[in-house]
């Protein structure tokens, strides 16, 4: 059986499982909980189908495993796998979408669309499987860039983790935390550096397939494109919540690049 068919069968099973679990538990973060796990499974399916004899596919599988391990650890320590560990944004949306509309949103977007997206952004492994060729210098460059993005995301997530622990300690001590949201470290150069590094890794993953095929004109770029679109939408939605909680967030937006790290803009002088 072709590995892409095996992955499609896994995709169907995961869709059913996450949908049923969301109905049974009334929690809607089940796709979030498998987000760092299922891609690893998909890529290893392609590598194993090549008998672990293709260096490029083996490296792609190893890098995806590192990506998945880091993301799983970060998600777990924030309580994402614990009962009640649902992403706060789903609860926010659920308060505005009720009844049958939420039922359809859960089925079509949270479950089906996001699971299909996971399948799509791992498809460059299918391209590499179809065009098995020697490992090249371009592959080495791609590995270095991927690992750089992985390290960047690890640093960003650690800075965020440290900040929220400090913030919780300040509140527990009866003090008003200042600042109320993270704007130092990597977050001084990007409001969402972790988003940038996450997307960057999957764009590099696409280039592995392009290197194997000898051309960047591959339809499997669709996964990376749709992932970027999803992150843009998520950024807009997340920041709308942040602005409603913290009026000073508008100032941060005016000074700091939204996703791609860049030097902060100078504050505008107050005018009469």
Q: Which tens digits make up the pLDDT trace of 53-66?
A: 999 999 999 999 99
How does residue 84 score in pLDDT terms, banded at 50, 70 and 90? confident
Tell me the mean pLDDT in the region 202-211.
Answer: 98
Overall average pLDDT of the 224-235 stretch? 95
Name the phi and psi angles at 53, rounded to 5: -110, 0
Mean pLDDT for the stretch of residues 220-239 = 94
Domain of residue 209, residue span: 3-255
Tens of pLDDT, residue by residue over 126-140, are 999 999 999 999 999
Is 263 a domain residue?
Answer: no
The answer to whether residue 35 is domain-embedded is yes
Residue 58 included in any domain = yes
Cα–Cα distance for residue pair 9/123, rounded to 1 Å:
14
DSSP-assigned letters across all residues of the chain: --HHHHHHHHHHHHHHHHHHHHHHH----HHHHHTTTHHHHHHHHHHHHTTT--HHHHHHHHHHHHHHHHHHHHHHHTTTTSTT---HHHHHHHTTS-HHHHHHHIIIIIIIIHHHHHHHHTTHHHHHHHT-----HHHHHHHHHHHHHHHHHHHHHHHHHHHHHHHHHHHHTT---SSSS--SGGGGT-S-HHHHHHHHHHHHHHHHHHHHHT-S--TTHHHHHHHHHHHHHHHHHHHHHHHHH-TTHHHHHHHS-SSS--PPPPPPPP--
CA separation for the pair 222, 218 (Å, rounded): 9
Give percent above pLDDT 90 in the chain: 85
Q: Is residue 15 part of a domain?
A: yes
Name the pLDDT band for 267 (thresholds 50, 70, 90): low
* pLDDT value, residue 97: 86
For residue 52, tell me if it sits in a domain: yes
Please provide the distance, in angstroms rounded to a whole number, between the alpha carbons at the two ends of the chain. Answer: 72
pLDDT confidence tier of residue 92, bands split at 50, 70 and 90: confident
Q: What is the pLDDT of residues 15-29, one digit of tens each?
A: 999 999 999 999 999
Structural domain includes residue 237: yes
Q: How far apart are CA 85 and CA 79, in angstroms?
A: 6
- How many distinct structural domains can be found in the chain? 1
Average pLDDT over residues 206-210: 97
pLDDT reported for residue 268? 53
Structure tokens at 239: 């920041």
Does residue 161 form part of some domain?
Answer: yes
Residue 186 included in any domain: yes
Residue 13 pLDDT exceeds 70: yes
* % of the chain beyond a pLDDT of 70: 98
């Amino acid at each position: 059986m072709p590995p892409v068919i095996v992955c499609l069968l896994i995709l169907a099973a995961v869709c059913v499982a996450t949908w049923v679990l969301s109905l049974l538990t009334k929690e809607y973060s089940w796709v979030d909980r498998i987000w760092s796990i299922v891609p690893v499974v998909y890529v290893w399916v392609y590598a194993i189908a090549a008998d672990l004899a293709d260096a490029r596919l083996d490296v792609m599988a190893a890098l995806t495993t590192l990506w998945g391990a880091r993301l799983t650890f970060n998600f777990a320590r924030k309580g994402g796998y614990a009962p009640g560990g649902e992403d706060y944004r789903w609860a926010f949306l659920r308060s505005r979408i009720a009844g049958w509309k939420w039922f359809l949103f859960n089925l079509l977007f949270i479950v089906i669309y996001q699971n299909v997206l996971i399948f799509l952004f791992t498809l460059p492994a299918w391209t590499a499987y179809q065009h098995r060729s020697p490992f090249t210098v371009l592959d080495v460059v791609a590995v270095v860039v991927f690992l750089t993005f992985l390290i960047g995301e690890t640093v960003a997530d650690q800075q965020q983790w440290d900040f929220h622990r400090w913030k919780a300690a300040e509140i527990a001590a009866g003090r008003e935390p200042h600042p109320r949201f993270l704007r130092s470290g990597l977050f001084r150069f990007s409001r969402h550096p972790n988003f940038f590094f996450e997307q960057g890794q999957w764009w590099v993953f696409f280039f592995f397939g392009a290197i194997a095929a000898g051309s960047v004109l591959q339809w499997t770029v669709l996964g990376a494109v749709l992932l970027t679109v999803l992150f843009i939408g998520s950024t807009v939605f997340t920041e709308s919540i942040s602005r409603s909680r913290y009026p000073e967030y508008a100032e941060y937006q005016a000074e700091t690049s939204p996703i791609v790290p860049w030097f902060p803009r100078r504050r505008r002088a107050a005018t009469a």
